[in-house]
Structure 1
Amino acid sequence: MARIPSASPAELPADVAPLAGDPFYGILARRPEILREWSKLDTAFFGASSTVDNRIKEEARRTLAQGVGCRFCASLGTPRDEHPDAREALAVAFAELVATDHHQIDDSTFAVLREEFSDEEIVELVSWICFKLGSNIFGALMKLAPATPAEVDGYAAFVAGDLATH
């Protein structure tokens, strides 16, 4: 059971009430102004202005989620065993470095990232991974339960581009 229960959608402003059905967002909904902005940032990462393919970001997120301790985040999908796409493999390797010891990331790591990503894409990828690391830590601290099959499907639709489902 989560350490803090989700806010009741009936008690929330109309613009955030639909988001409160998600266990993660439901807890954030106790501070609607934070949920509002958090949701906007989530949407911006997967929106039309994104410079890094959602598939790459999602695989990095899945990798990151496995070791941080948020059962909800980890249950939204496990990373694939192989990454034949060089950009995806590099994003996954970077996410693993962030998850295990971000202190080992140095200029040479960024030189390798630049072999596949532009500076704008690196900023997006690194900010995405940091945002999701914070999300995972939040979920772990709140003791979120694993996602239900419906929640997994809803998140998959969100990642696929149906931004209205999240």
Structure 2
Amino acid sequence: MPRIPAVDTATLDGQLAELAQDPFYGILAHRPEILEAWFRLDKVFFGPSSKLPNELKEEGRRALAQGAGCRLCASFGQPRDEYADRRESLAVTFAQMVLEDHRSIDDRTFDLLREDFTDEEIVELVSWLCFKLGSNVFGSLMRLAPGTEEQIRAYAEFVATG
């Protein structure tokens, strides 16, 4: 059971009511302005201006989620065991480093990232991982339950379509 219950969606209008059906957003709906801003940022990361493929970012998020303590976030998928794509492998390794000890990340790590990513892509990757780490910590603190099959499908669709 979450530490704070979701807002009653009947008290919300339009898109906020729809968003608040999600357990994470349902708690954020206690502060509608934060919910709206959080959702907009999620959409930017998966929108047409993104510099990185959604699947690459999602693999990084999956790696974070397995160790950050949010059961909802972790239920949205495990990272793969192997990567044919070097960029995905680097993104997942970097995500694991962020989770384990972001202070251990040094200039050599960024030099390695620059072999396969532009500076714009690195900024997007790092900001995405920080945003998702914050989401995971929030979900962990709120004690969110693992997602239902329907929630997991809806999240996968969001990732696929932005």
TM-score (normalised: structure 2): 0.98
The aligned amino acid for 1:78 is Q
Deviation at 1:83, TM superposition (A): 1.1
Deviation at 1:14, TM superposition (A): 2.4
Deviation at 1:32, TM superposition (A): 0.4
Alignment size in residue pairs: 162
Measured against aligned partners, the alpha-carbon deviations of 1:47-86 in whole angstroms (never above 9, x if no partner) come to 0000000000000000010001000000001111101100
Map of 2:145 onto structure 1 = 145
**Contact 1:10-1:17 at 8 Å conserved across structures:** yes
How far, CA to CA, are the matches of 2:15 and 2:79 in structure 1? 33
How far, CA to CA, are the matches of 2:26 and 2:15 in structure 1? 13
* Residue segments in structure 1 that go unaligned for 5+ positions in a row: none
How far, CA to CA, are the matches of 1:158 and 1:14 in structure 2? 19
How far, CA to CA, are the matches of 2:14 and 2:32 in structure 1? 10
Q: State whether structure 2 residue 90 is matched by structure 1 residue 90.
A: yes
How far, CA to CA, are the matches of 1:155 and 1:81 in structure 2? 21
**Contact 1:59-1:92 at 8 Å conserved across structures:** yes
Name the SS for the 1:90 alignment partner: helix
Measured against aligned partners, the alpha-carbon deviations of 1:122-162 in whole angstroms (never above 9, x if no partner) come to 0000000000000000000000000000000000000001x
**Contact 1:13-1:32 at 8 Å conserved across structures:** no
How far, CA to CA, are the matches of 1:16 and 1:32 in structure 2? 7
**Residue identity (%):** 62
The aligned amino acid for 2:44 is A
Map of 1:22 onto structure 2 = 22
Deviation at 1:92, TM superposition (A): 0.3
Deviation at 1:13, TM superposition (A): 3.2
The correspondence of residues 40-119 of structure 1 with structure 2, limited to 5 A, is: 40-119=40-119
Name which of structure 1's ranges 23-32 and 10-19 shifts more when overlaid on structure 2: 10-19
Deviation at 1:17, TM superposition (A): 1.0
How far, CA to CA, are the matches of 1:154 and 1:15 in structure 2? 16
Deviation at 1:12, TM superposition (A): 1.5
Deviation at 1:15, TM superposition (A): 3.1
How far, CA to CA, are the matches of 1:142 and 1:42 in structure 2? 19
The aligned amino acid for 2:115 is E
